[in-house]
Amino acid sequence: MRSFPGPAIEIVDRMRAAAAADPARAIAFQGSPGANSHRAATEAAPDMHPLPCFSFEDALEAVKDGRAGRAIIPIENSQHGRVADIHFLLPESGLHIIGEYFMPIHHALMALGGGPFEAAYSHPQALGQSRHYLRARGIVPLSHADTAGAAAYVAERGDPSVAAIAPALAAELYGLTIIENNVEDSPDNMTRFVILAREPLAPAALAGKPVMTTFIFEVKNIPAALYKALGGFATNGVNMTKLESYQQGTSFAATTFYADIIGAPGDPAVDRALEECAFHSKELRLLGSYEQARARG
């Protein structure tokens, strides 16, 4: 798939060749070389070959069909909330979460010229994280598939009146000038990534470690079903650190919930809580148990 901007294609082909030579040690990410997910892949798995993929679906598919042993996907940002579509894509992928990684996010405004700029291209998440900066300068935000891809596109377009918001590495890769660093609106901008594989971690690999478990469930369409489904976590002392709802389909009658808890199946308290949740649900599916990258609570 060659949907990357022209300046990125040579780098993409080189990285894909390295991954193809040793697929088990490849880690797929969404975006062009230089994207935040590229940086996350190299930091979270420094012994693996980063494999750039155009979309989240492509990155997950690379693991499913054996072109990569892992994928690293951003799931939520401290400033801009959850990453769009991820809660739908993870369950559909059939992959298992085996780890998490937290990475501070810093954006730079970069361009061919020195400004002023009519517009700036970037991924919607980055645009949202820099919206106050852009608004104050009258720069129109324009969506692109990923941050580094936006930088490559600006380089390819050759228009000095447009800029990109991307990691500083992208300016180096695509020959742009950094106009200003740290244009994100919040200094504590943080993204949480999850690492996925075809097989779940064995319980023995998590023994004695602080563990998270991620799952989705759809409660029965009866009064107090959600209250009863969640009650087991309270009565069994299981800490739920995240609960989000999203709609499945177009009827708006079936709500699915995405949840993180501390602990893993095999712990009697967790087993009891999940059993009670499942009793009051039409479906409950575990997405993975994995070591905490940072303490909760």
Is the Cβ–Cβ distance between 1 and 54 less than 8 Å? yes
- How far apart CA 255 and CA 230 sit, in angstroms, is 15
The answer for residues whose C-beta is within 8 angstroms of residue 190's C-beta and 6 or more apart is 77, 78, 79, 102, 103, 104, 105
The answer for residues whose C-beta is within 8 angstroms of residue 54's C-beta and 6 or more apart is 1, 3, 4, 30, 145
DSSP state of 266: T
Dihedral of alpha carbons 127, 129, 130, 135, sign: positive
Which helix (H) or strand (E) segment holds residue 93: the answer is: helix 86-93
Check 193, 217, 233, 257 and give the catalytic one. Answer: 193
Is-catalytic flag, 191? yes
CA dihedral 223, 229, 234, 240 (to 10 degrees): -120
User: Nearest-5° angle of CA 101, CA 200, CA 63?
Assistant: 75
- How far apart CA 65 and CA 74 sit, in angstroms, is 21
Is-catalytic flag, 250? no
CA distances from 242 to 54, 121, 196, 279 (A): 29, 31, 19, 20
Dihedral of alpha carbons 246, 248, 253, 254, sign: negative
Check 54, 56, 191, 256 and give the catalytic one. Answer: 191
Order of all β-strands in the sheet with 211-219:
240-247, 255-262, 211-219, 281-291
| Catalytic (active-site) positions | 191, 193
